[in-house]
């Protein structure tokens, strides 16, 4: 490996980390203050923004320890057979970089992942050493998110949890068949075994801390995972059901989706094109329906078409309502909360608003209009004091009437 300075390594290893979606960077125009003009730069390498459990946006230094890897996962730009420029930080270099970025107020924490060098245990030891040194040698109190390696010694994964706020283990592909085909050196059993160990450690730690306030914390921000979407033949239905099962079995805080992006010198077994980014967006909306709107994974999957894919032009809640019209219209003055949450175009805040208002008065269409961005979209699905959709609800051509205009993203759709 050629001798590289810290800046060169940072350029390579921050770029290599961008394929991990567990925290996302925001795009902007390029500006800098080189030449003494102005102050600041939008080109700081490796800084991404993530959301803390309390909803705060925090800046993280997001890097890999190394982009060299002894594995050859087909979808990964860092795989053994990939022809990319390689770089490697020592644990001390990552510690120094994190502290210097932190002292300059660039970041509030570190997101560290790595390719596998020598062995899973050796790599995990290096990752743990970064977090240990930050916490114990430097009393670093910022946020730390560590990617852990599933087949590393469970004791090392445990050590990671003792120093990190969050740990994550990527399931990589939505199906076991996809994993076997595209990441043959990885094992679904090992991945799920490691997630189960982390879940047990988190639960045990909560119990211990109830009894002994001085018990050390273990991954207080929980564990998360990531799935690559569009690299194998898994349908949206498969993905939604798998994600739900991961939430249920391993108590995950989040399942992240990363749309597969074709890489240079890609393996011949990969698709030539990336899936539409909208697919990733629809999967995140499905995730919200399950976590916050009371939908079962099977219900969301049932909103998909015959090929198992969710429509891209409308959100999954609207797709479900159009397919299962028997439950509509819903009376906004009488329906229980769980039915109100199923009305397309009404978010949790709007539903809370309806429930609070109807204690004092009977709601009319105009009252509901104030709580949604598109009255036209929800009219076929509701009954109010002065409104009942007689013909509208049964129209065969309802979909184009309620679908958002093609160029417009429904940012606030429920």
Q: 187 or 235, CB closer to ligand SF4?
A: 187
Contact range with ligand SF4 by CB under 6 A, out of 65-73, 278-286, 305-313, 358-366: 65-73
Contact range with ligand SF4 by CB under 6 A, out of 66-74, 239-247, 313-321, 353-361: 66-74
* Residue of the chain from 78, 223, 226, 285 that contacts ligand SF4 (CB under 6 A): 78
Q: How far apart are CA 341 and CA 319, in angstroms?
A: 14
Contact range with ligand SF4 by CB under 6 A, out of 5-13, 74-82, 85-93, 130-138: 74-82
Question: If binding means CB under 6 A, how many residues of this protein chain bind ligand SF4?
Answer: 9
The CB-of-72 to ligand SF4 minimum distance in angstroms stands at: 6
Strand runs labelled E in 338-388: 382-383
CB-based contacts of 304: which residues, under 8 Å, 6+ apart? 235, 236, 237, 310, 319
Mask for 104-143, x = binds ligand SF4 (CB under 6 A)? -----------xx---------------------------
The CB-of-289 to ligand SF4 minimum distance in angstroms stands at: 29
Is residue 87 part of the contact set for ligand SF4 (CB under 6 A)?
no
Is residue 79 part of the contact set for ligand SF4 (CB under 6 A)?
yes
> CB 244: neighbour CB atoms within 10 A?
21
Q: 76 or 297, CB closer to ligand SF4?
A: 76
* Residue of the chain from 21, 24, 49, 71 that contacts ligand SF4 (CB under 6 A): 71
CB-based contacts of 100: which residues, under 8 Å, 6+ apart? none
Which residues are paired to 8 by β-bridges? none
Q: Check residue 225 and report its DSSP letter.
A: E
**Please, which of residues 156-185 interact with ligand SF4 by CB under 6 A?**
183
Q: 152 or 234, CB closer to ligand SF4?
A: 152
Contact range with ligand SF4 by CB under 6 A, out of 52-60, 68-76, 197-205, 246-254: 68-76
Q: How far apart are CA 347 and CA 293, in angstroms?
A: 9
Q: How far apart are CA 290 and CA 243, in angstroms?
A: 10
Contact range with ligand SF4 by CB under 6 A, out of 67-75, 86-94, 126-134, 357-365: 67-75
The CB-of-111 to ligand SF4 minimum distance in angstroms stands at: 15
Q: What is the DSSP string of 134-167?
A: IIIIT---SEEEEE--TTS-HHHHHHHHHH-SEE
Q: Which residues of 13-50 are buried (b: 16+ CB within 10 A; e: fewer)?
A: bbbbbebbbbbebeeeeeeeeeeeeeeeeeebbbbbeb
Is residue 147 part of the contact set for ligand SF4 (CB under 6 A)?
no
> CB 105: neighbour CB atoms within 10 A?
8
The CB-of-8 to ligand SF4 minimum distance in angstroms stands at: 20
Question: Would you give the end-to-end CA distance of the chain in angstroms?
Answer: 51
Q: 69 or 131, CB closer to ligand SF4?
A: 69
The CB-of-263 to ligand SF4 minimum distance in angstroms stands at: 10
Q: 19 or 295, CB closer to ligand SF4?
A: 19
Q: How far apart are CA 307 and CA 352, in angstroms?
A: 36
The CB-of-227 to ligand SF4 minimum distance in angstroms stands at: 12
The CB-of-110 to ligand SF4 minimum distance in angstroms stands at: 18
Strand runs labelled E in 274-352: 330-331
- Polymer length in residues for the chain: 414
Q: 71 or 387, CB closer to ligand SF4?
A: 71
Q: How far apart are CA 15 and CA 124, in angstroms?
A: 21
Q: Which residues bind ligand SF4 (CB under 6 A)?
A: 69, 71, 73, 76, 78-79, 115-116, 183
């Amino acid at each position: 490996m050629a001798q590289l300075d810290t800046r060169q390594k940072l350029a390579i290893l921050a770029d290599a980390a961008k394929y991990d979606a567990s925290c996302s960077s925001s795009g902007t125009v390029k500006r800098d203050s080189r030449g003494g003009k102005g102050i600041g730069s939008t080109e700081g390498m490796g800084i991404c923004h993530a959301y803390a459990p309390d909803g705060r946006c925090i800046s993280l230094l997001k890097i890999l320890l190394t982009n060299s890897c002894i594995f050859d996962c087909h979808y990964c730009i860092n795989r053994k057979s990939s022809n990319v420029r390689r770089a490697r930080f020592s644990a001390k270099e990552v510690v120094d970089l994190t502290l210097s970025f932190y002292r300059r107020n660039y970041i509030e924490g570190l997101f560290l992942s790595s390719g596998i060098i020598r062995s899973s245990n050796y790599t995990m030891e290096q990752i743990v050493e970064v977090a240990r040194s930050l916490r114990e040698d430097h009393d670093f109190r910022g946020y730390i998110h560590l990617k852990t390696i599933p087949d590393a010694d469970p004791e090392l994964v445990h050590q990671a949890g003792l120093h990190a706020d969050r740990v994550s283990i990527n399931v990589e592909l939505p199906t076991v068949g996809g994993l076997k085909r595209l990441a043959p050196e990885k094992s679904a059993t090992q991945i799920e075994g490691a997630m189960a160990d982390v879940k047990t450690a988190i639960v045990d730690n909560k119990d211990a801390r109830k009894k002994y306030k001085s018990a050390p914390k273990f991954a207080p921000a929980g564990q998360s995972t990531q799935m690559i979407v569009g690299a194998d033949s898994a349908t949206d239905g498969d993905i939604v059901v798998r994600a739900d099962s991961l939430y249920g079995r391993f108590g995950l805080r989040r399942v992240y989706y990363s749309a597969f992006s074709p890489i240079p010198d890609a393996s011949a077994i990969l698709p030539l094109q990336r899936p539409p980014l909208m697919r990733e967006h629809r999967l995140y909306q499905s995730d919200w329906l399950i976590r916050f709107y009371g939908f079962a994974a099977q219900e969301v999957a049932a909103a998909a078409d015959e090929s198992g894919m969710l429509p891209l032009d409308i959100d999954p809640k609207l797709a479900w309502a159009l397919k299962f019209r028997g439950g509509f219209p819903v009376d906004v003055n009488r329906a229980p909360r769980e039915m109100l949450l199923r009305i397309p175009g009404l978010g949790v805040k709007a539903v809370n608003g309806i429930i609070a208002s109807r204690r004092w008065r009977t709601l009319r269409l105009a009252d509901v209009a104030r709580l949604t961005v598109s009255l036209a979209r929800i009219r076929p699905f509701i009954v109010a004091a002065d409104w009942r959709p007689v013909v509208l609800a049964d129209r065969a051509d309802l979909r184009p009437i309620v679908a958002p205009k093609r160029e417009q993203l429904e940012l606030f759709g429920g």
